[in-house]
Amino acid sequence: MKISGVDKLMQGYRRYRDGDYEHSRKLIESLVSAGQQPQVAVVACSDSRVDPAILFQSDPGDLYVIRNVANLVPPMEEEGTYHGTSAALEFAVLGLGVKHLIVLGHAHCGGIKLMMQPDPYDSSFKYVPSWVSMLSAAHRRVLATMANAGPEACTRACEQNAVLVSLENLTTFPWVRERIESGELQLHGWYVDIAGPELSAYDGEAGKFVTVI
């Protein structure tokens, strides 16, 4: 009988408790007593297929992960009350002192597909269209420069442009800029094709994503 839902999660936790936890017990105990000290923060999509810890086979304490729809970083702004992504970034940079900030985009992103609809506001979603609207300029650039390309190629280009938008928005935070200028922090734009699987990194000099693995 196939096990699904929360029953599968409970069985998985038992395997973790009796397996990986025991294997990493000393490491985890040191992370509890000394606190976490990750060197890398990752802004990733909430998509269930692109868990950074699984993709990069990281150990506990390696990654500080920030996840949301379409792996987006909003520009700095002080209006409003709730800034989940900005607060997580602030904690990663100022609180933990991470050395690397990675924006991890991916193929087959549902948030990007919604943004590319003729009228993304004509849907049952209330919050998602507004959130992904920060990519509208990137979408227009893709349409202007890829007029003869097919839908799949345009979608891949928009997914990669979403990474670049987030990298640009990161530099609107003064404490990010200061640490980049001092050499304390490096930004990275990565893109994974989950069906490949293939990992690409943005090359600023070449102006494009280049396959690295």
Q: Are strands 198-203 and 186-193 parallel, antiparallel or unpaired?
A: antiparallel
Domains, the chain: 1-34 (no CATH), 36-211 (3.40.1050.10)
Report yes or no: 166 and 104 within 8 Å, Cβ to Cβ.
no
The backbone region for 171, taken as left when phi is positive above 0, alpha when psi lies in -120 to 50, beta otherwise, is alpha
Q: So what's the pLDDT on residue 98? A: 98
Q: How far is CA 145 from CA 149, 153, 154, 157, 210, in A?
A: 9, 12, 10, 10, 19
Residues 6+ apart with CB under 8 A from 136: 115
Task: Express each pLDDT in 53-93 by its tens digit.
Answer: 999 999 999 999 999 999 999 999 988 789 999 999 999 99
Q: Within 10 Å of residue 127's Cβ, how many Cβ atoms?
A: 8
Q: In the predicted model, what is the mean pLDDT of residues 40-45?
A: 98
pTM equals: 0.95
Q: So what's the pLDDT on residue 123? A: 76
Task: Express each pLDDT in 105-134 by its tens digit.
Answer: 999 999 999 998 877 777 789 999 999 999
